Amino acid sequence: MTGPLKGIRIVEFAGLGPGPFAGMMLADHGAEVIRIDRPGAALDPRDPLSRNRTSIVLDMKNPEALKVARELCKSADGLIEGYRPGVMERLGLGPDVLLADNPKLVYGRMTGWGQFGPYAQAAGHDINYIALSGVLHTVGRAGEKPVPPVNYVGDFGGGGMMLAFGMASALLHAAKTGEGQVIDCAMTDGSAVLAAMTWGFFGAGRLKDEPGVNMLDTGAHFYDTYTCSDGKFISIGSIEPQFYALLREKTGLDKDPAFDAQMDPSQWGPLKDKLTALFATKTRDEWCAIMEMTDICFAPVLSLAEAPQHPHNIERETFLTVGGVVQPAPAPRYSATINDTPCAAPTCGADADALLAGLGYDAAGIAALRDSGAVG
C-alpha cells in the first residue's frame, strides 16, 4: 500500500459498521489492516467497508488462537475492536495485557454508548445513539417526528470516522513519545461533536430547540429541497445575500418584493410555498440548465445510480469500480502520498499462512494451528 499511513500495521477484530469503516479509512490511506475473522465468516468483495485488508480466521475460544491474536497485536501499531465493554478483557486481550506486551500500541475501542456510563452494557443502534446525543431531535420538518439520517451520523461520522481520527492522532503521539493509549470512541460523544455548530447557535440564542423552523433544518425557503415537474428534486442553499440575489434573478423572483424578506422567519412559510409552486413548473434538467454551476448554491439531488455519472464526479473520479461494483473512491486525496486503487475484500483467512510466517511460525507450526482448529 501507498499513502501517508504506509508502514503502519493495524489489527482489526472484525465487527460491523463503524469499526470496519475506521479500518477502511486507515487502509485506504496506506495502513496495513489485518482482519481477525471468526470461523464461518465470509467477506463480500463488493463491500467497501472490507476493502484493502488481509484476513486471518481465528477461533477465539481456542487458547492457541488467542496466543496468535496476542502475537499479532505485539507486532502492530494499533488495534480496532467494537465489542461491548469487557469482552476483550474476558478474552485476555484487554488493554492492560496488550499494552504491557506492546507499550506503543494504540488500542481503539468503538462502541455506541462508550466504555462507561449507565447505558454502556445496553444494545443499541445509530438511531438510539444520536437520539441520546440530541442530534436526532434536530433532523426533521416542523411539526413532524424526527427523521433518522440513515446511519451516517452515529455509525460513520460520529463513530468510524471519529475513531479513524483518534487512531491517527494517537499514532502520531506514539511515534513521538513511544507511549500507546486506549481510545474510548463512543457514537454518543462523536455525534454530539458533529453537532458543535448547532450547539453554538443554540447557546447564542440563534436557534430554536425544535426541528424544521431554523435556517439550516428546512425552516428557511432558501435552504431546502424542491420537487420538479418530473418528480425529481433539486437543492437550494442561497444563504448569503449575493447568492440569494442571483437565485431571484435566475428565477424571475427579483420582481417580487415579498422575497426581500429573506431573513424574516415569519415570511419563510409563504415564500417557501411560492418557491414550491415555481420549481414544480420545470423539470430537474431544465432547472439545471438555468442554475447549475452558478453561485446560486444549487445542485440536482442525484440518486445512487445517477451520482457516479455526473460530469463533476466523473472528472474528479469520486467513484470507482471495485469487486465489480461502484464504490466511493478513497478521500481525501494527497499531492505527494497518492492512495492506491482499492483492492476488493479478501476471502476470509486467505492471508493466514503469510501472517503466521511473519510471526515466526514454520510450516509445521502453521499445520499444527490448523489441525487444532485455532486457525481456520
Give domain limits for the chain.
9-194+325-372, 223-309
pLDDT band of residue 343 (cuts 50, 70, 90) is very high
Whole-angstrom distance, CA of residue 99 vs CA of residue 108? 12
d(CA 327, CA 212): 32
Query: Does the annotation count 125 as an active-site position?
Result: yes
184 part of the active site: no
Q: How many CB atoms lie within 10 A of CB 77?
A: 23
Which residues are within 8 A (CB) of 28 and not within 5 positions of it... i.e. 6 or more apart?
A: 3, 51, 52, 330, 339, 342
Homologous superfamily (CATH) for 9-194+325-372: Crotonobetainyl-coa:carnitine coa-transferase; domain 1 (3.40.50.10540)
pLDDT at 1 over 70: no
Instruction: Say which residues have a Cβ less than 8 Å from residue 344's Cβ, sequence separation at least 6.
Output: 45, 46, 51, 322, 323
Cell numbers at 76, concatenated: 502492530
Confidence of residue 339 (pLDDT cuts 50, 70, 90): confident
The active-site residue out of 126, 155, 217, 224 is 155
Report how far residue 355's alpha carbon sits from residue 192's, in angstroms, rounded to the nearest whole number: 39
C-alpha cell at 281: 413548473
User: Which amino acid does the sequence have at 356?
Assistant: L
- Number of other CB atoms surrounding residue 341 within 10 Å: 12
Phi, psi of 227 (to 5 degrees): -90, 135
Specify the pairing of strand 53-57 against strand 32-37: parallel
Question: Residue 50: which of 18, 80, 23 has the closest Cα?
Answer: 23
State pLDDT tens for residues 247-261: 999 999 999 999 999
pLDDT at 373 over 70: yes
Over range 295-307, report the average pLDDT: 98
Q: What pLDDT is recorded for position 130?
A: 98
The tens digit of pLDDT for each residue in 36-94 reads: 999 999 999 999 999 999 999 999 999 999 999 999 999 999 999 999 999 999 999 99
CATH number for 223-309: choose from 3.40.50.300, 3.30.1540.10, 3.30.565.10, 1.10.150.20: 3.30.1540.10
Among the listed residues 72, 82, 81, the one whose alpha carbon sits nearest the alpha carbon of residue 102: 72
Alpha helices in 232-351 (DSSP H): 241-251, 265-279, 284-291, 311-316
Q: Where are the beta strands (DSSP E) in 30-179?
A: 32-37, 53-57, 78-81, 106-111
Q: What is the DSSP letter of 62?
A: S
- Taking alpha carbons only, the member of 313, 310, 220 closest to residue 270 is 220
Alpha-carbon span 333 to 339, nearest angstrom: 7
Q: Please pick, among 125, 137, 173, 310, the residue that the annotation labels catalytic.
A: 125
CB atoms within 10 A of CB 72: 20
The overall longest dimension of the chain from CA atoms, in Å, is 85
pLDDT computed for residue 67 by the predictor: 97
Report, as an integer, the average pLDDT of 280-295: 98
Reduced to 3 states (helix: H, G, I; strand: E, B; else coil), residue 359 is coil
pLDDT given for residue 22 in this prediction = 98
The whole-chain average pLDDT of the chain stands at 97
Contact between 167 and 190 under an 8 Å Cβ cutoff? The reply is: no
Asked whether 215 and 231 are in contact (CB, 8 A), the reply is: no
CA distance 337 to 263: 45
Residue type, 50: S
Nearest Cα neighbor of 15 from 43, 1, 4, 29 is 43
Give me the pLDDT at residue 2, please: 83
**pTM of the shown model:** 0.95
Question: Are 327 and 319 contacting, i.e. CB atoms less than 8 angstroms apart?
Answer: yes
Measured in degrees and rounded to the nearest 5, phi and psi for residue 182 equal -100, 135
The pLDDT value recorded for residue 128 is 98
